[in-house]
Chain A
């Protein structure tokens, strides 16, 4: 087996080790690769910046622990911007793990002097997905009698200013999909279509593709997709966090995958290329009685990724 055949069938353990190193080393020892601001993130930042100072926003923590690394950095980055404008935050969650993430992310507000119950509240988890969100949108107090910390919601100063979804200057969902919780489509229907409340989304990288349609249609005012968006937002707010650190690792991991794909294809093209012998060249000249048949050379046999001929 020559080197090009080996390139097509590298041991997956080699890839696993390289991938582990590619993620671990930049995470432990950040490189600080420069991050450019993309248009979707800038548009989202500008939209949030245009919200009235001191207004209320609704943030849905609709994700599970597996997607925390993508979405919590987005939440923290945007909380810095909201706090700089004294915007009040009402958090709720359609996943059972959501309120705990909300509690952790909302801690960043303390450095701005935010007071629980007056400037922000964590309402906790609601079951039932879209219909419950619809009920909340019509009458928030009908769904949450007590908040995540056990307080009477109707007694909280922040909730006295909210009687329906229309009272929020913006809604945002941090979302990893509709399975078990409220998805982005449901937020569009209940926040934007039913009440006209502007919506922005923080989604995992893989969900960006399916939600781009809402941005183009204007139903979603901005989309922040994955760790990259968190890193860009941190740059815009000037508060570096886990998003910026994670981008180094993600950059190198992507490059590693692309490098492996390129190497595999180089191996395939070299091995598949017919290796014509000098004798067969003369035999295949015009007028020859014994032209060489395509594929008669064993070395020209096409090889698929699994090493089988096709």
Chain B
């Protein structure tokens, strides 16, 4: 009970209050303790990375075992995972082998997945941007103006799209974004306070 509930609450309270005070007030003793806590956090985060790696291996080994070696995606992940770690650890992250993996496998696959958006968003825009009512027409018009105003060729075809895009981005967009950000920040403060005073225990496994 103490280790599961009380101790995490005490740690969260002490760390949270110390770091918050250090952010707002220049008290040398508190500043030094807050810096210690932040350094500890970075060490814990490294362990979290390792924990994540172990979890990925565990899940995909289970997948392979259950499918009797027929789950090619999990096999591919485990194989590439092992090769990348071995090359990184033994040959070094600045070695030619590691750079080869990064430049010719990691970056192209990541870019390829991201580039699929051009196809899917394009077809989604074609099918969804229909002026069926006033709201849809406004959305359609705004989307097309911004798309044209953001590229040189679009600006040549429809010169007015550039000032209109700037206006949409700096007035309409910023107004909405500010509302979202302020609301999000207030929610963030509320959740942080609940964690610090021990009312919110789901973040460390409680109810």
CA distance A68 to B107 in the complex (A): 8
Question: Chain B binding site: helix, strand, loop or mixed by DSSP?
Answer: helix
**B107, A65: Cβ atoms under 8 Å?**
yes
Report, as a range, how many residues of chain A touch the other chain. 35 or more
Contact between B157 and A255 (Cβ–Cβ < 8 Å)? yes
Confirm or deny: A55 has a beta carbon within 8 angstroms of a beta carbon on chain B: no
- Taking a contact as CB atoms under 8 Å apart, the answer to whether A132 and B152 are in contact is no
What separation, in Å, do the CA atoms of A252 and B147 have in the docked complex? 11
Nearest chain A residue, comparing its CB with the CB of B31 = A138
Chain A's closest residue to B110 (CB) is: A65
List residues of A (4-59) whose CB comes within 8 Å of B's CBs.
Answer: 10, 12, 15-16, 19-20, 23, 33-36, 38-39
**Which of A10, A15, A132, A212 is the one whose CB lies under 8 Å from B38?**
A132
- Of the listed stretches A165-173, A256-264, A285-293, chain B binds A256-264
The 8 A CB mask of A120-139 against B (1 = contact, 0 = none) is 00000011110110110011
Is the pair A261, B42 in contact by a Cβ cutoff of 8 Å? no
A-B contact pairs, 10 of them (CB 8 A): A64-B110, A127-B46, A142-B39, A253-B122, A260-B125, A260-B126, A262-B144, A265-B130, A269-B131, A305-B130
Q: Is B94 an interface residue (CB 8 A)?
A: yes
For window 76-114 of chain B, which residues contact chain A by CB distance below 8 Å? 93-94, 99, 102, 106-107, 109-111, 113-114
Bound Cα distance A19, B35 (Å): 51
Given contacts A66-B113, A97-B102, A305-B127, contact A128 B45 (CB under 8 A): yes
Please judge, given known A-B contacts A135-B35, A143-B39, A149-B94, whether A251 and B151 are in contact too, CB under 8 Å: yes
Q: How far is the CA of A132 from the CA of B46 in the complex (A)?
A: 11
B25 proximal to A (CB < 8 A) = no
